[in-house]
């Protein structure tokens, strides 16, 4: 109790101006000089001298006291004892005090012992400096014990980021407790929507009104707001984020409530906002009957298993407990990573994982895999999807996206696969680039095979960009913000549809479960997002400001680089305007035109010949004839074609 009281008393003392602290120290030393003289007289006479006129004054004690004060205080000032009292510690402090009192003692002893003063015993000249050394040394040690820890704590806290925890519920209290002694961040207050709590103190931490956040950030030097409300709705979460954005603080969120309850939360567990926080819409709870229909107890194959969508499909599939899960991937390291991750998630469940290195372009390898394990469900996520790269390497993009799909589809049909689901993209709608056109042609291949009487149920699931995938703008923007900017954007008006990877994977599985053969399912992506608005939101929720003409002193600049080859300003999800609803509120069914298989097969054969000789101009013309709506928005930028053209021009120039 006494320790707590002394600690509380120390704070206002440490808050005093430096001059006031020095005056207090001088007064203390003045008192110790008097006390040392009084004790010296006691030791000499064997009894305490009274401070009445008959004692203190009659014995000449007054002269010994005046001389002590007049000599000691100037010596202490000159030798620097009052420059940094509260930072003195250990032997250096004692030596400094000893040197100062040694000098003082020399003068005092000379006056009262060597020369002598009537009424003052000569032994006082020896004992008083020794007693003063003991008293001054003890006073410094006591001050260090009392104020030193508090002083160092203030210095330590001053260098730590200061944070608010938004929410005083169980999660918020658990986080505050976990961060009590954190060397990395200091919690200085709670924010909560309940106005009955405002102005109160919870576990020693004050509760503030979130409406005052902008002012509190300045007055209390707040750098971070930690969201500790895992159970609130997405709509309310978005309202809070919009409110916090203008305060120029970094916003971070917590792990699951289960981790908080188990006491596992520390500063390292705090993470940046999830991508769905940036997306800003409420996810739909999955239909577990649809999730299980094509997976539970079955052999399932996923191509592109190491990619963004493929790996999440594998995670979702594993949770539904298939009998076997075949992981097909051409990238060795990506396959190793997803296989190791899934092995750790198995937790002794009797599910067989089979990692298979293979390219979907290898028709024989696809037949070998499918005929060996006879999967009942195939999710085909393997694709080249980076628009500029495919535009610069069009033949390889078409071989992989179109003919890889065809090879796998034929192997599936020959070996009794029941359900085959192709992961497609919104870039397949009225494409302006080879990647989008190749995906639309892959869709048409499955539509034609389904229409031709295939026993396998072929279906297509089409959606837009997924937040956090490889090539997504979100991780790229985050990296650019960490590097101090600028954020690079191809066009100020560019928009995209976005969805989180887990939500997209769940909807793909559910859409595939509703397939009847040849259907094109379109996921409801909500409203399209303006990319420049997404960039601004990410900057502001990082506690920074946008640097532009209106705010030249901002932190992060957004620079416009121009549209890349094949890139569109706007993406669409439907070719026609006749989507049909399904039993799932986020899944629609489209009716898209396609070429009958008999005709398409012959034209694909001609396409394959052009691909084998890399005749880019012919390939591009054939794609325009095959894919309705494909309108290239740039010249041919195939690297090989451009190099060969440059060499031909150089050779022609030499001849002339």
The 10s digit of each residue's pLDDT in 56-103 is 555 567 777 788 888 888 887 777 776 655 444 556 666 777 788 888
Average pLDDT of 128-136? 81
What pLDDT, on the 0 to 100 scale, is given for residue 599? 94
Look up 427 and say whether it is catalytic.
Answer: yes
- The stretch 266-289 carries a mean pLDDT of 62
Average pLDDT, the chain: 79
pLDDT tens for each residue of 62-73? 777 788 888 888
Q: Is the pLDDT of residue 281 over 90?
A: no
156: pLDDT strictly greater than 80: no
Looking at residue 245, its pLDDT comes to 75
User: For residue range 532-558, what is the model confidence (pLDDT) as tens digits?
Assistant: 877 777 777 766 777 777 777 777 888
β-strands 519-523, 556-560: how paired? unpaired
pLDDT band (50, 70, 90) for residue 621: very high
Higher-pLDDT residue of 104 and 653 is: 104
Pairing, β 377-380 against β 419-425: parallel
51 has a pLDDT exceeding 70: no
Query: What pLDDT sits at residue 520?
Result: 85
Q: Which of 4-8, 583-587, 622-626 has the weakest average pLDDT?
A: 4-8
Expressed in angstroms, the distance from the first to the final Cα of the chain is 101
Are 639 and 627 in contact by the 8 Å Cβ rule? The answer is no
**What are the pLDDT digits (tens) for 394-418?**
999 999 999 999 999 999 999 999 9
CB neighbours of 228 closer than 8 A, spacing ≥ 6?
Answer: 165, 166, 167, 169, 171, 172, 175, 254
**Residue 299 near residue 374 (C-beta atoms within 8 A):** yes
CA angle 228, 230, 233 (to 5 degrees): 120
Q: What is the mean pLDDT of residues 147-167?
A: 63
Position 523 pLDDT exceeds 90: no
What pLDDT sits at residue 87?
Answer: 46
Exposed/middle/buried for residue 486 (C-beta within 10 Å: 0-12, 13-18, 19+): middle
Tokens of 528: 């399209």
* In this structure, CATH architecture of domain 162-273: 3-Layer(aba) Sandwich (3.40)
Distance separating alpha carbons of residues 611 and 402, to the nearest angstrom: 12
**Residue 325 is inside which H or E element, if any?**
strand 324-329
Q: Rounded mean pLDDT of 193-212?
A: 83
* pLDDT confidence of residue 458: 94
Strand partners, 164: 189, 225
Count the Cβ atoms, other than its own, within 10 Å of residue 203.
Answer: 10
Give the C-alpha separation, 649 to 647, whole Å: 5
Report how far residue 239's alpha carbon sits from residue 166's, in angstroms, rounded to the nearest whole number.
13
Q: Average pLDDT, stretch 508-537?
A: 78
- Tokens found for residue 618: 């012919």
Alpha-carbon radius of gyration of the chain: 39
- 162-273 with 288-468+497-527+570-626: one CATH topology? yes
CATH T-level fold of 288-468+497-527+570-626: Rossmann fold (3.40.50)
Residue 261: what pLDDT? 46
Instruction: Quote the pLDDT of residue 642.
Output: 87
Enumerate the β-bridge partners of residue 224: 163, 250
Hey, which of 97-101, 501-505, 628-632 has the most confident mean pLDDT? 628-632
Are the beta carbons of 106 and 115 closer than 8 angstroms?
A: no
Residue 342 CB contacts under 8 Å (≥ 6 apart), including other chains: 314, 315, 318, 325, 327, 353
Tens-place pLDDT, residues 442-451: 999 999 999 9
419 vs 12 pLDDT, higher one: 419
What integer pLDDT is reported at residue 438 of this predicted model? Answer: 95
Higher pLDDT: 110 or 379? It is 379
Domain ranges of the chain: 2-158, 162-273, 288-468+497-527+570-626
**Per annotation, catalytic residue among 293, 385, 427, 589:** 427
């Amino acid at each position: 109790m006494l320790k707590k009281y002394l600690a509380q008393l120390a704070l206002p003392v440490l808050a005093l101006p430096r001059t006031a602290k020095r005056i207090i120290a001088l007064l203390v030393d003045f008192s110790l000089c008097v006390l040392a003289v009084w004790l010296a007289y006691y030791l000499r006479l064997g009894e305490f001298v009274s401070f009445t006129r008959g004692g203190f004054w009659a014995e000449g004690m007054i002269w010994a006291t005046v001389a002590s004060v007049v000599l000691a205080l100037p010596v202490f000032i000159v030798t620097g004892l009052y420059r940094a009292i509260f930072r003195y510690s250990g032997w250096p402090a004692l030596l400094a005090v000893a040197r100062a009192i040694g000098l003082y003692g020399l003068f005092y002893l000379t006056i009262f012992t060597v020369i002598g003063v009537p009424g003052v015993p000569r032994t006082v000249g020896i004992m008083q400096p020794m007693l003063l050394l003991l008293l001054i040394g003890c006073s410094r040690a006591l001050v260090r014990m009392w104020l030193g820890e508090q002083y160092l704590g203030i210095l330590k806290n001053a260098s730590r980021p200061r944070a608010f925890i938004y929410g005083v519920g169980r999660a918020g209290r658990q986080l505050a407790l976990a961060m009590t002694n954190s060397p990395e961040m200091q919690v200085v207050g709670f924010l909560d929507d309940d106005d009955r709590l405002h102005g109160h103190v919870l576990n020693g931490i004050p509760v503030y009104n979130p409406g005052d956040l902008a002012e509190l950030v300045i007055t209390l030097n707040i750098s971070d707001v930690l969201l500790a409300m895992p159970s609130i709705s997405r709509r309310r979460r978005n309202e809070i984020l919009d409110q916090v954005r203008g305060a120029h603080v970094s916003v971070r969120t917590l792990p699951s409530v289960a981790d908080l309850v188990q006491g596992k939360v520390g500063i390292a567990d705090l993470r940046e906002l999830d991508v769905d926080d940036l997306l800003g819409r409420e996810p739909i709870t999955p239909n577990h009957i649809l999730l299980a229909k094509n997976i539970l107890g079955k052999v399932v194959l996923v191509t592109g298993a190491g990619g963004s969508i493929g790996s999440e499909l594998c995670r979702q599939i594993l949770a539904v407990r298939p009998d076997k899960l075949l992981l097909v991937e051409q990238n060795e390291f990506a396959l190793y990573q997803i296989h190791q991750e899934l092995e750790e998630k198995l937790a002794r469940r009797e599910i067989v994982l089979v990692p298979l290195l293979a390219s979907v372009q290898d028709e024989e390898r696809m037949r070998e895999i499918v005929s060996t394990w006879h999967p009942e469900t195939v999710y085909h996520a393997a694709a080249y999807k980076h628009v500029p790269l495919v535009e610069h390497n069009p033949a390889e993009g078409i071989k992989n996206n179109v003919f890889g799909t065809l090879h796998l589809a034929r192997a599936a049909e020959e070996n009794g696969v029941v359900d085959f689901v192709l992961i497609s993209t919104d870039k397949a709608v009225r494409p302006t680039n080879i990647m989008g056109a190749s995906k639309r042609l892959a869709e048409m291949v499955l539509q034609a095979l389904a229409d031709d009487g295939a026993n396998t149920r072929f279906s297509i699931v089409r959606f837009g960009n997924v937040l956090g995938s490889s090539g997504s703008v979100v991780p790229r923007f985050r990296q650019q913000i960490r590097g101090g900017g600028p954020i690079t954007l191809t066009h100020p008006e560019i928009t995209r549809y976005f969805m989180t990877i887990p939500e997209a994977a769940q909807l793909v599985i559910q859409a595939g479960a509703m397939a009847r053969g040849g259907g094109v399912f379109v996921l409801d992506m909500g409203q399209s997002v303006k990319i420049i608005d997404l960039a601004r939101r990410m900057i502001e929720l990082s506690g920074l400001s946008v640097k532009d003409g209106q705010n030249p002193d901002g932190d992060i600049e957004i620079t416009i680089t121009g549209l890349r080859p094949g890139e569109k300003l706007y993406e669409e999800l439907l070719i026609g305007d006749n989507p049909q609803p399904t039993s799932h509120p986020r899944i629609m069914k489209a009716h898209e035109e396609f070429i009958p298989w008999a005709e398409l097969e012959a034209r694909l054969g001609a396409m394959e010949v052009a691909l084998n000789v890399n005749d880019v101009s012919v390939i591009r013309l054939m794609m325009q004839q095959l894919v309705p709506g494909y309108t290239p928005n740039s010249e041919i930028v195939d690297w090989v074609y451009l190099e060969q053209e440059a060499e031909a021009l150089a050779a022609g120039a030499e001849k002339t």
